[in-house]
Amino acid sequence: MHFTFFLTLICLTNFGIGQITVPNQFHFPYGDPVIPFIGLFVAIAFPVEINNVDLFFSVNLEANYNLPSNQTNFTYPPTVSNRNFPTISRLGVYRALEFKLEGHGYPGRECLLRMICECAEKNLDGNGILGDLINIILRPSYSLKENGSSVYDEAENYGKSNEHCEIYQDLCPFSILKLITWSDM
């Protein structure tokens, strides 16, 4: 069945009753009855092929953004918070993975160490973007050393120097990495 793709993009903007009288000086409308806004409408339609029937499946998306009603409603440059956000560290990601594995009934740290060892042992280049992401996440040597990361470094070094990760296979029942990658493990 051959589907044709139609994309209709309609951008409607409504700036209210604002006008420019002098360059670099704007006048904004006041009052509630007319609130100035910018609207964006996107409609996507797919024809459905049924004999003797013209039928379309369509999706409509709409976004409305209110504009300031006077010059005191906005500032430039915009105020940006100087609040410190927590940084994402490799150990934090490893703790989250361990917690998730334990939630599914597996020994979290042991299975993560086995995955790190197997990732260092095998080449995951044939797995595309997924393989690249797994390599970045499961290779502690790809980031700066952190306190408490020596166990993970040892697992990676063991995988690089040995053909099989036997010491980790006893602690974790099966290879989780085998489930999500293509490799001869």
pTM (2 decimals)? 0.53
**pLDDT given at position 70:** 61
Burial of 53 (0-12, 13-18, 19+ CB in 10 A): exposed
Task: Please tell me the distance from the alpha carbon of residue 118 to that of residue 62, in angstroms, as a whole number.
Answer: 48
Counting Cα atoms < 13 Å in the Cβ hemisphere of 146 gives 15
- The angle formed by the CA atoms of residues 90, 95 and 96, to the nearest 5 degrees, is 100
- The per-residue DSSP string of 84-117 comes to PPPPP-HHHHHHHHHHHHHHTTS-HHHHHHHHHH
Q: What are the boundaries of each domain within the chain?
A: 6-66, 90-180
**pLDDT (0 to 100) of residue 110:** 92
In angstroms, the first-to-last Cα distance of the chain is 41
Q: Is 61 left (phi over 0), alpha (psi -120 to 50) or beta?
A: beta
Q: How far apart are CA 170 and CA 110, in angstroms?
A: 9
pLDDT of residue 143: 79
User: Which residues, other chains included, contact 159 with Cβ-Cβ below 8 Å and sequence gap of 6+?
Assistant: 116, 117, 118, 119, 120, 121, 165
Write out the chain's pLDDT in tens, 185 residues. 333 333 332 333 333 344 444 454 555 444 444 666 677 888 888 888 888 888 888 888 888 777 666 666 555 555 666 667 677 888 888 999 999 989 888 888 999 999 998 888 887 777 778 888 888 888 888 877 777 778 888 888 888 887 788 888 888 888 888 877 765 54
